[in-house]
Amino acid sequence: MGSVEGLDDALSAFRERVLTYGRELYRDLPWRRTRDPYGIWISEVMLQQTQVSRVDGRWQHWLERFPSVDALAAAQTADVLDEWQGMGYNRRALALLRAAQQVSAAGGAMPSEVSQLVALPGIGPATAAGIRAFAFNLPGVYLETNVRTVFLHELYPDAVQVPDRELIPLVEATCPADASNPEDDPRAWYYALLDYGAHLKKTVPNPSRRSRTHVRQSRFEGSHRQKRAMVVRSLLAHRGEGATATDIAGELSAQELQAGREPVDEAAVLGILEELASEGFCHREQERWQA
């Protein structure tokens, strides 16, 4: 594509195509019916590497259990982890809790400035831009996977290993600067990109694979990451009375054997427990571990 300079006509035509597709493909998703920054923040984190169909339902249940930043900030770690089960990457739940505690301590209002958002645990540039666009209707560089898919498909149809540094100026240049036109403001623009991108992934070979940022996810089954998740689930199942490393090793070994894999020894489980404890997932009381 080259530089943004001299591309005004091409980008204008690109924007018209995206907005047209956006109107045709619009998805009426639950989190699009609110402008509450907290609810939108939760949806943005849940939607990271997770299918929309899985988030629909889980998002609503989360908000019933933790209806506000202050409610989440006051929750027990085990309760937050329990509600997150099945959504992958337990670190995200812990980051949500820690960020909510910071926001609550500062008065309970989600910030709208990029610098303040990215200073919170678990919020990177894309999540910050999503919160700004969908909650506050403010412009930004919202370069998530579906958005990236559209730019690659439309503007880099034959290129491979396209770096984000080439896409960022284009994403910034095409996002409306204000909210004066409700049919073409930052919120509507990024919804159009998301819906067109989701459609492309179902109808053409995934363009995002031609991005330099594309990394094939490592196998989860039998991995250390899976064992960490299994330990967290075991701790949650023993809430109150806690569990010893021996107890947890027995439970994990039974699950591994059932899956046709080798049992897990107690030393390995103890290492995982100490790893999780250092990250704030659990703590030790005498010989028993608690979430």
> Cα dist. 207→86, 87, 108, 174, 260 in Å?
28, 25, 40, 19, 36
- pLDDT averaged over every residue in the chain: 93
**Across 60-77, average pLDDT:** 98
* pLDDT of 216 strictly over 70: no
- For the chain, the domains span 8-210, 224-290
Q: Strands 283-285 and 288-290: what pairing?
A: antiparallel
- The confidence score (pLDDT) of residue 219 equals 74
> Cα dist. 274→132, 267, 278 in Å?
37, 11, 6
pLDDT band at 215 (very low <50, low <70, confident <90, very high): low
* pLDDT of 211 strictly over 70: yes
- Report percent pLDDT > 70 for the chain: 96
> Cα dist. 156→12, 37, 161, 163, 209 in Å?
16, 33, 10, 11, 12
Here the tokens at position 16 are: 């018209």
- The confidence score (pLDDT) of residue 3 equals 45
Are 8-210 and 224-290 equal in CATH topology? no
Cα separation, 105 vs 32, in Å, equals: 27
- Could you read off the pLDDT of 99-110 as tens digits, one per residue? 999 999 999 999
Catalytically active residues are: 44
Cα separation, 275 vs 269, in Å, equals: 10
* pLDDT of 28 strictly over 90: yes
Give the CATH fold of the 8-210 domain.
Answer: Endonuclease III; domain 1 (1.10.340)
Cα separation, 115 vs 239, in Å, equals: 38
- Report percent pLDDT > 90 for the chain: 86
Q: Which residue has the higher pLDDT, 4 or 50?
A: 50
- For CA atoms 42, 59, 248, 240, the dihedral sign is positive
pLDDT band at 4 (very low <50, low <70, confident <90, very high): very low
Q: 224-290: which CATH number, 3.30.70.1290, 3.40.50.1000, 1.10.10.10, 1.20.810.10?
A: 1.10.10.10
Here the tokens at position 6 are: 């001299």
